[in-house]
Amino acid sequence: MTRPLRRPAALVIAALIAVVPRVATAAGASDGYRLGPQDKLDIRVYDLRTGSGEAHQWAALNGEFLVDATGAVSLPLLGQVPASNGTPADLADAISARLQAKIGLAQRPDASVQVIKYRPFYIIGAVDKPGEYDYRPGLSVLQAVGTAGGLLRAGGDSLIGYERDALTQRGDLRVLAADRVALQVRQARLDAEIADADTITLPPDIKARAGEPDMARAVREEQLLFDARRNALKSQLDAIKQAKGLLTSELTSLAAKDATLGRQLDLTRKELAQVSDLVAKGMAVVPRQLAAEQSTASYESSRLDVQLATLRAQQDLSKADRDMLDLKARRRDEALTEATEVRAKLAADFEKIETTRQLVYQSEVRAPMAVARDAAERQPIFRLTHRTGDASDTRTVTEADLVAPGDVLRVLLPPRDDLGAAGRATSSAAPDGGAAGATADAGSGLPSRETAAASAVPSRR
């Protein structure tokens, strides 16, 4: 639906919509920024109506939208529009083309897409405060290190800080684990509602953990919610069915009344014909004929009223059937929408769990090892991991190289030569996916990395 603008505003926006999309396209082409999950976008769609000379804005498509975990933007009227690995200009073109095809417009509307909040980047390794940080355009490696508090400074205070960070991160892992359990059970409840099942069917991995307090509580809460929603729907359907029964009885009574009136009308018409014949022969007076005609008209009017009441009752009966279908469809649509949100949250929780595991590893293993080494000045090594689609690329960069949203910057301080082979072996003994991952898993009560990744795959589909 479009909303016409006032004439002065229409003239201004008519000029702007001819310029803004081109500006967005030029910017997207110059910086080559590729959209990805967690990018927050500001989308504006306008079109100029040549007949009236007024500019119209597509209010439903104007606003702030988030690129979801699947790499798409969910827009009213248009549905899921793929955005991942494309530029803002590519997304603007896709929105414009899809809207033209969807509505059947003669000319393509003008669309502009601006990134108002980029997805975060991550920095780990020999920095003072490793973690997740907000991205800003033109961020260099050196600036990213400065954002994380600079290079790691060895000392006793640092060790205490790392221990404190490890405790906090382990607490975060436990919170994420409980949240993931609740989301998995909720997904099972929504699947049962979508399938209109009588009971919730729990996946085997959830059944195996049914004795755990968090799991039992989550199952109990979702079961209560499932029963309440199902009983509410059943009560509404029963009320409609009761109304349908009353309408059916009313139609039966009206049909019987219509038949009786039909018989009475036939009798009065015969009587009227006989009286008219007698009047024509001079054997009856005119008032008697008038009385017969009035009686016939009265019965005809009553029969029309009954037939009209029958039509109204039939309309009410049809409306009751539509109401029953609408109730079921609304419940299914609500469950489908919530299921989509739950899948996105599960995917986000998986990413947070992996990031927190890395942070635990840094706080408990890598950071104390760095503190234990000599604090002499060493030239840091920066390794940047960039992910494109399903592939990732890791390369060594310099301080002046740029960091992109979603990148993981690893800062390494090479060991001194006098530490010898033992020092080098110690620094490389626990790679990112090794013992630290198992330590984090054991402390948080979460499944291993492989198990967590496998369980998250269905949630992302």
CA gap 374, 357 in Å, rounded: 27
CA gap 459, 174 in Å, rounded: 20
Return the DSSP state at 284: S
Among residues 459, 377, 381, which one has the least CA distance to residue 427?
381
Task: Look at residue 427 and tell me if it is in a domain.
Answer: no
Q: H-helix or E-strand containing 110?
A: strand 110-117
pLDDT at 167 over 70: yes
Task: Look at residue 130 and tell me if it is in a domain.
Answer: yes
pLDDT classification of 143: cutoffs 50, 70, 90 = very high
pLDDT classification of 438: cutoffs 50, 70, 90 = very low
Q: Please state whether the predicted TM-score (pTM) of the whole model is above 0.85.
A: no
| 24 CB-side CA count, 13 A | 24
State pLDDT tens for residues 342-362: 888 888 888 888 888 888 888
Mean pLDDT of 374-396: 79
Per the CB < 8 A criterion, the answer to whether 400 and 140 are in contact is yes
Do 292 and 398 belong to one domain? no
Task: Give the number of other CB atoms < 10 A from CB of residue 454.
Answer: 12
Predicted confidence at residue 29, as pLDDT, reads 37
Q: Which of 371, 405, 434 is the last residue of a domain?
A: 371
Do 199 and 292 belong to one domain? yes
Task: Look at residue 324 and tell me if it is in a domain.
Answer: yes
Do 124 and 226 belong to one domain? no
In Å, the largest CA–CA distance within the chain is 143
pLDDT classification of 156: cutoffs 50, 70, 90 = low
State pLDDT tens for residues 399-419: 999 998 889 999 998 765 543
pLDDT classification of 153: cutoffs 50, 70, 90 = low
Do 343 and 399 belong to one domain? no
The larger pLDDT score, comparing residue 32 to residue 183, is at 183
Q: Which of 338, 371, 404 is the last residue of a domain?
A: 371
Predicted confidence at residue 432, as pLDDT, reads 45
Task: Look at residue 249 and tell me if it is in a domain.
Answer: yes
pLDDT classification of 157: cutoffs 50, 70, 90 = low
Q: Which of 310, 344, 371 is the last residue of a domain?
A: 371
Task: Tell me the C-alpha to C-alpha distance, in Å, between residue 304 and each of 250, 260, 261, 307.
Answer: 16, 13, 10, 5
* Residue located via tokens 């690329």: 393
Predicted confidence at residue 373, as pLDDT, reads 60
Predicted confidence at residue 371, as pLDDT, reads 62
Do 104 and 69 belong to one domain? yes
- Structural domain including 322 reads 161-371
Do 53 and 78 belong to one domain? yes
Report how many domains make up the chain.
3
CA gap 184, 203 in Å, rounded: 9
Do 203 and 74 belong to one domain? no
Task: Look at residue 147 and tell me if it is in a domain.
Answer: yes
CATH of the domain at 176: 1.20.1270
Mean pLDDT of the chain: 77
State pLDDT tens for residues 268-313: 888 888 888 887 877 777 787 788 888 888 888 998 999 999 999 9
Predicted confidence at residue 442, as pLDDT, reads 41
- Tell me what percent of the residues of the chain surpass a pLDDT of 90: 13
CA gap 129, 456 in Å, rounded: 28
Beta bridge partners of 114: 42
Among residues 302, 311, 239, which one has the least CA distance to residue 268?
302
Do 217 and 355 belong to one domain? yes
CATH of the domain at 49: 3.30.1950.10
pLDDT classification of 441: cutoffs 50, 70, 90 = very low
Do 227 and 134 belong to one domain? no
Rg of the chain taking only CA atoms, in angstroms: 37
Task: Look at residue 330 and tell me if it is in a domain.
Answer: yes
DSSP 3-state of 112: strand
Predicted confidence at residue 6, as pLDDT, reads 43
Token pair of 315 as six digits: 């309309």
* Residue located via tokens 């979603």: 406
Task: Look at residue 365 and tell me if it is in a domain.
Answer: yes
Phi/psi for 314 (5° steps) reads -65, -40
Task: Look at residue 423 and tell me if it is in a domain.
Answer: no
Do 51 and 195 belong to one domain? no
Beta bridge partners of 82: 72
User: Is residue 279 packed enough to be buried (19+ CB in 10 Å), middle (13-18) or exposed (0-12)?
Assistant: middle
Do 329 and 352 belong to one domain? yes
Beta bridge partners of 151: 127
Do 186 and 131 belong to one domain? no
* Residue located via tokens 């039939």: 314
